[in-house]
Amino acid sequence: MRLVLDTDVIVAAVRSATGASRALLNAVAATKAAALVSVPLFIEYEAVLRRPLLKEETGLETAEAEEILDGLANIMTTVEIHYLWRPLLSDPFDDMVLETAVNGGAQAIVTFTARDFRDVPGTFGISVLAPSAALRDVRST
């Protein structure tokens, strides 16, 4: 299964070692699913993981954030963006997630904020799933 993980899923995986988001990343690391990422989306992951508020909430140190980013870079498949699909959504960061999914031939976008994507991904044949639903799908294949 080819997935694009919204940034909120990465943050949830950092915050909780026992949640569906972390389990989904573990499944990607075990090559049970492919997580697609574009350079702009990875830069967003990096910016969010380095936010002082996240450090304050989780105790995540800069070195730990770097280790997480290195790990993500090693397990994710990079997608080149050949065509921009903007603006289709109200948030340009969500447009970036959609563009990664479309350009990478993803089957699903994984996010906690499905309502922000409305029905737009469906026009490209892409599902929008919560991490728990994506994890169920990955485990069933």
Checking if the pLDDT of 48 tops 80, the result is: yes
Pick the CATH number of 2-140 from 3.40.50.1010, 3.20.20.10, 3.40.50.10090, 3.40.50.720: 3.40.50.1010
For the chain, the average pLDDT equals: 94
pLDDT above 90 covers what percent of the chain? 84
Q: Which helix (H) or strand (E) holds 61?
A: none
Q: What is the pLDDT of residues 54-95, one digit of tens each?
A: 988 888 888 999 999 999 999 999 999 987 767 777 778 899
Q: What is the pLDDT of residues 6-27, one digit of tens each?
A: 999 999 999 999 999 999 999 9
The SS3 assignment for 127 reads strand
Domain assignments of the chain as residue spans, ordered by start: 2-140
The pTM of the full predicted model, rounded to 2 decimals, is 0.94
**Long-range Cβ contact pairs of 78-84 (< 8 A, separation 24 or more):** 78/36, 78/37, 78/38, 78/39, 78/42, 79/36, 79/37, 79/38, 79/103, 79/104, 80/38, 81/38, 81/39, 81/40
For residue 42, CA distances in Å to 6, 18, 70 come to: 10, 23, 11
Checking if the pLDDT of 105 tops 80, the result is: yes
